[in-house]
Chains A and B, each alone.
Chain A
């Protein structure tokens, strides 16, 4: 019991900031990341009761990603159909730019949440964690070639999802026009 406690505290010291950073990136909110961090370590504490886990950090990161996307699913916003909005004919500096960019990030993360678990892990480690294919392969227990293929397929699916989008009903758009 005390060993497990020590192991968790070591994990917290060594990888706590990295896990918190990952949760912040995936939720885009620090307060939510803090709550999820609590939940993550409580779950890890319970999970260690039953079985032996070989790579504790990889396990913790997988659990963190799953927690973050569970939270996203529970608190999903109706995404603005930005692709349906006609773009201005000339480039201009608008105060809406930052808002639109934030919406784009939400939209992209929601699309990542619709991927299967392994592809999602691979995309997050590769493009958000900026890790090498070899390291990802080592963490996921697959070959680097397989990880490359996973990432490529995941990017295709992301593009399809984002192109399809989730448009607002026309009624709401016409209301806004009126």
Chain B
């Protein structure tokens, strides 16, 4: 087992510090962040103009807004330019006296008929205008509802694609994890195999050396035996016992 000391840790940290991403990957990442920031900014700006866009979306709402502004302006001008109110009590007394003396029932009846007729006409006109406005408003509401439904569908699709993307990422990472684990196991196995191979090689070397030693010993012994054998052989090639047999003649 090797020992990890501070120098080893420093070497590893230095190796990490030398890792640099590819330039195109860096520019791609920066650009992607920039786009995200800009789109977020755009989406924040959008709600501010929403009400004004709604008002100016159709001619009907534009006319209604203009009418409201004109009415408000007229009311304000009338209030400002009106003369000072007279004394109410005095006016009431004079009016009562005059009415009592001058008004006849026929006049009163005619006035009431005219009033009724004018009210009915005004109500009919108002009813027609109101029904037109209601129809236009219903049409606009339907259009807005359809638009909102479309937006909601687009958002839902985007969200589901993001979820799918996330799930795919998770799957890819899980596969990468499994491959990583397999690689680690293979690493350990190959290191064991390597260790065993080295041990076997060492053992084979030792065996060959001892075999060579033994062979050399045997050869030396054989050589010595041959030398002894040669030394006991006579110079003319005859064996000692053969010479002994030839000497008596």
> Which of B92-100, B111-119, B133-141, B192-200 is near enough to bind chain A?
B192-200
Name B192's closest neighbour in chain A (CB-CB).
Answer: A177
Specify which chain B residues have a CB less than 8 angstroms from the CB of A38 in the assembled complex: 32-33, 36
**In whole angstroms, what is the CA distance A163 to B9 when docked?**
11
Specify which chain A residues have a CB less than 8 angstroms from the CB of B22 in the assembled complex: 30
> Which of B102-110, B183-191, B211-219 is near enough to bind chain A?
B183-191
> Which of A12-20, A51-59, A132-140, A141-149 is near enough to bind chain B?
A12-20
Is A33 interfacial (CB 8 A cutoff)? yes
A20-B21, A37-B29 known; A108 and B6 CB under 8 Å? no
Q: Is the CB of A89 within 8 A of B16?
A: no
Q: Which residue of A83, A89, A130 contacts B202 across the interface (Cβ within 8 Å)?
A: A89
Main secondary structure on A side of the interface with B: helix
Main secondary structure on B side of the interface with A: helix
Is A109 interfacial (CB 8 A cutoff)? yes
Q: How many A-B residue pairs have CB under 8 A?
A: 140
Interface residues of B in 1-24 (CB under 8 A from A): 1-6, 9-10, 12-17, 19-22
Is A171 interfacial (CB 8 A cutoff)? no
Report the count of interface residues on A (CB-CB < 8 A): 59
**In whole angstroms, what is the CA distance A45 to B41 when docked?**
10
A→B interface (CB under 8 Å) = 1-2, 5, 8-9, 12, 16-17, 20-21, 24-25, 28, 30, 33-34, 37-38, 41-42, 45, 75, 77-78, 80, 83-90, 92, 94, 96, 99-101, 103-105, 108-109, 123, 127-130, 155, 158-159, 162-163, 168, 172-173, 176-177
The 10 closest A-B pairs by CB, nearest first: A127-B13, A80-B184, A16-B30, A24-B21, A34-B29, A108-B12, A176-B189, A128-B17, A162-B4, A41-B33
B→A interface (CB under 8 Å) = 1-6, 9-10, 12-17, 19-22, 25-26, 28-30, 32-34, 36-37, 40-41, 44, 173, 177, 180-181, 183-185, 187-192, 194-195, 198-199, 202
